[in-house]
Amino acid sequence: MLKKDFIDDEKIWEEINGGKNSTKEEIREIFKKSEQKIRLEPEETAKLLHIEDEELLEEMYELANKIKIDVYGKRIVFFAPLYVGNKCINNCIYCGFRRDNKSIERRTLTMEELRKEAKIMIDAGHKRSIMVYGEHPAYDADFMAETIRQVYSVKSNNGELRRVNINAAPLDIEGYKKLNEAGIGTFQIFQETYHHETYKKIHPEGDRKSDYQWRLYGLDRAIKAGIDDVGIGVLFGLYDWKFEIMGLLHHAIHLEQNFNGVGPHTISFPRIEPALDTPYTQNPEYKVSNKDFKKVIAIIRLSVPYTGMILTARESPEVRNEMIPIGISQIDAGSRVGIGGYNEYESGSVPDKEQFQLGDLRSLDEVIRDICKMGFIPSFCTAGYRAGRTGEKFMSLCKPGLVHNFCMPNAILTFKEYLLDYASEETKAMGEIAIKNNLADLTPERKKDVEIKIKLIESGERDVYI
Amino acid sequence: MYIYKKEDLEIFIKNTTKKALEIKNFDQAMKYALKTTTDYYTDTQMSFAEKRGKRISFISGYGKESFKPVEINTLVDKYVLLLQNIDNVNKDEKEKVVNMFKLIVQNR
């Protein structure tokens, strides 16, 4: 008999059901608490899950955007994934990379290919990447640490990848220590689904991934090994979205309670997408509609106001444009999710044998233009983790909504770099307006500081940050 | 520019070092030194952190947040001292303060 973990399925359903039939007044009281950037309790989040009233929904979406801006400012951080290898010992029924999928060509990048991928990303203007690995003995901690060092070593013209985050299978403490030694940013583990029974059903028994608790406590071990920025996530569409939001919240609370108030650095909420020869993905029972997805995003923002929220290019441009202004703080762009996908794309082919299908194939430059049009400012900032703003320190800035004092100047500075080194003429023109507008929002003293640093960038200096 | 009599700084460093070294728990010793030093240099912020590649992981820190760039000083091996809003402290004084922290870390 397994010991109980901090996800109590029955209790979560009780909380969800207990949240039904709330009055508008009750809901607005919860809004007020979120507005003060206080993390919600499960009973409060449960009430938000049942909002159907259009007026309240609109209020919630507006508030989600306000909270995000209060905490992080108007910046949207950009990154791109780098898929290192798709060998996998697991047979998860929803995944294109599952062991028994013979339609997928199994491949692991050589170090040379890896550097080539990194160079293409750098030449597009990226500064931040998330490296993704299947779960396989070939991708042990030593291998991952070496790939991280290789990627960090690549320089091209003025560019380099300044922050490498990791999305990989859970490791033991010794393994995490090796990654920490290589200087990673955030370590992400998505629980996929928090619902025990569903987890068991979709992760065949005997597979390494079938151990729910090994995965659930994977980030605890990462933190114990010294990685104090961790990301959680769910693959929406595997189980009821209301339950999954509660699971994410309970996970955030678990981390806060066990690690000096340090909650998740980021929360991700990908929706299941069709994948090659993966029937489960064609019509999943718990598919989340766009309408509900919008609620998912806003409720997460209100429930965990301090966290970074990541919306990926799985989603179409239309969906992304609709969802970004309700609390999103990070997006990827110009992404390729195949092994060697950047190089293949440069050579003129769009790979179809990927883990899932991308919904947004726009270039980084195009997405940046759209972000500017929406009134946000693109950011390539990687300063925080290089200036000691990690773990408890990062939380002490995020929770009271102060981190924007770093985020906005660094967004302007890194975006200026992008405009000078990589942007098309059209994006440059639009970007300069965005910089001017966002400079105007800074305090006079801060504005002066940033303008001095912009001059340094214009004179050729790079990696200028606060 | 902060102005302190030279003997004040010497006494401050001597006393802080002595007390920090008396504290058996290294974490507590560093917290004591950071707290005392940021009380001495008001409006500054000082943090103790661990450098791993590009990453500098926060361990502990005190002082006022001014949202200014941090100055990174290596203490011993992977340990660093981050100083914020320290421009008004002259170079010699700053060096003495950093050396005090080096001594505390070396004797951990």
Q: Flag whether A420 is in a domain.
A: yes
Q: Which residue in the set B54, B57, B72 is minimally distant from A391, CB to CB?
A: B57
Residues of chain B positioned with their CB less than 8 A from the CB of A388? 47, 49, 56-58, 61, 70, 80, 82
DSSP strand pairing (A330-332 vs A377-379): unpaired
- Alpha-carbon span A149 to A166, nearest angstrom: 13
Nearest by CB to A402, which of B47, B49, B65? B65
Residue B57 lies in a domain: yes
The answer to whether the CB atoms of B58 and A392 lie below 8 A apart is yes
Q: Show the domain range for B45.
A: 6-106
How many Cβ atoms are within 10 Å of A257's Cβ, its own excluded?
A: 11
A452 belongs to a structural domain: yes
Q: Which residues of B touch A387 (CB under 8 A)?
A: 56, 69-70, 72, 82
Residue A399 lies inside a defined structural domain of this protein: yes
Which pLDDT score, from 0 to 100, does residue A1 have? 55
Measure the CA–CA gap between A301 and A443, rounded to whole angstroms.
27
Minimal CA–CA distance to B55: which of A3, A383, A194? A383
Quote the CA–CA distance of B28 and B30 in Å, as a whole number. 5
Read off the pLDDT of each residue in B35-60 and give the average, rounded to a whole number: 96
pLDDT at A355: 65
Number of domains in chain B: 1
Contact A7, A194 (CB under 8 A): yes
Contacts of A11 (CB under 8 A, 6+ apart): none
**Partner-chain contact B53 A391, CB within 8 Å:** no
In DSSP terms, A352 is beta-bridged to none
Buried b (16+ CB within 10 A) or exposed e, A171-186: beeebbbbbbbbbbbb
Which positions in chain B touch A392 (Cβ < 8 Å)?
A: 58
Q: Out of A163, A391, A402, name the one closest to residue B58 (CB).
A: A391
Position B30 in a domain: yes
Q: What gap in Å lies between CA A369 and CA A353, rounded to an integer?
A: 29
The kind and range of the H/E element at A296 are helix A290-303
Within-domain flag for B1: no
B24 touching A (Cβ < 8 Å): no
Residue A453 resides in a domain: yes
Cβ-based neighbour number of residue B42 at 10 Å: 10
pLDDT in tens, B69-102: 999 999 999 999 999 999 989 999 999 999 999 9
Q: What is the least distance, in Å, from the CA of A252 to any CA of chain B?
A: 20
Sign for the CA dihedral angle at A454, A460, A465, B3 comes to negative
Is A59 in contact with A88 (CB distance < 8 Å)?
no
Query: Which two three-digit tokens encode residue A414?
Result: 């890194």
| Helix pair angle (A444-458, A425-440), 10° resolution | 150
At A229 the pLDDT is 97
Q: Closest chain B residue to A402 measured between Cα atoms?
A: B67
In a domain, A465, yes or no: no
Q: Which chain A residue shows the shortest CA-CA distance from B62?
A: A393
The per-type count for chain B, helices as H runs and strands as E runs, is 3, 4
One-letter-per-residue 3-state SS of A195-238: CHHHHHHHCCCCCHHHCHHHHHCHHHHHHHCCCCCEEEEECECC
**Domain total for chain A?**
1
Cβ of residue B63 closer than 8 Å to a chain A Cβ: no
d(CA A394, nearest CA chain B) in Å = 9
Report helix, strand or coil for B29: helix
- Residue A349: predicted pLDDT: 74
State the average pLDDT over residues B8-32: 95
Q: Which residues of chain A have pLDDT under 70?
A: 1-2, 350-355
Give residues with Cβ within 8 angstroms of B39, minimum separation 6: none
Helix (H, G, I), strand (E, B) or coil at A190: strand
A407 occurs within a structural domain: yes
Nearest-10 crossing angle of helices A290-303, A24-35: 60
**By CB neighbour count within 10 A (0-12 exposed, 13-18 middle, 19+ buried), where does A399 fall?**
buried
Question: In this structure, what token pair is assigned to residue A298?
Answer: 């806003």
Interface contact flag, A385 B55, Cβ < 8 Å: yes
Residue A397 lies in a domain: yes
Q: What share of chain B is helix, strand, coil (3-state, %, to 5)?
A: 45, 30, 30
- Phi and psi at residue B47, to the nearest 5°: -130, 150
How close, in Å, is residue B6 to chain A by CA atoms? 31
The percentage of residues in chain B with a pLDDT greater than 70, rounded to a whole number, is 94
Is the pLDDT reported for residue B3 higher than 80? Answer: no
Q: Which helix (H) or strand (E) holds A44?
A: helix A42-48
User: Facing residues of B84 across strands?
Assistant: B45, B70
Interface contact B53-A466, CB threshold 8 A? no
Q: Are A184 and A227 in contact (CB under 8 A)?
A: yes
Characterize the bridge pairing of strands A159-160 and A155-156: antiparallel
Please name the member of A184, A387, A397 whose beta carbon is closest to the beta carbon of B56: A387
pLDDT of residue A354: 66
Q: What is the pLDDT of residue B8?
A: 87
* B66–chain A Cβ distance below 8 A for any pair: no
Pick A386's closest partner by Cβ from B47, B56, B68.
Answer: B56
Interface of A with B (CB under 8 A): 149, 152, 162-163, 180-185, 226, 228, 385-394, 397, 402, 405-406, 446, 465-466
Nearest to A406 among B50, B53, B67 (CB): B67
Query: Measured between beta carbons, which residues in chain A are less than 8 angstroms from residue B50?
Result: 226
**Does residue B1 carry a pLDDT above 50?**
no
Is B85 part of a structural domain of the chain? yes
DSSP-based three-state secondary structure for A72: helix
Nearest C-alpha of chain A: how many angstroms from B15? 28
Specify if A450 maps to a domain: yes
Q: What is the pLDDT of residue A360?
A: 95
Beta bridge partners of B80: B49, B74
B51-62 mean pLDDT: 96
Q: What CA–CA distance (Å, rounded) separates A217 from A269?
A: 19
**pLDDT value at residue A43:** 98
What was the ipTM of the complex prediction?
Answer: 0.93
Q: Is the pLDDT of residue B6 over 90?
A: no
Encoding tokens for residue A452? 């001095």
Under 8 Å between Cβ of A234 and A193? yes
Which positions in chain A touch B82 (Cβ < 8 Å)? 387-388
Nearest CA in chain A to B49: A388
Residue B85 touches partner A, C-beta closer than 8 Å = no
User: CA–CA separation, A234 vs A27, rounded Å?
Assistant: 25
- Among all residues of chain A, which has the CA nearest to that of B52? A183
Element (H, E) at A452: helix A444-458
Report residue A317 CA to chain centroid gap: 17
Compare CB distances from B54 to A162, A389, A405 and report the shortest one's residue. Answer: A162
* C-alpha A287 chain-centroid distance: 20
Chain B neighbors of A406, CB-CB under 8 A? 67
Domain that holds residue A424: 388-458
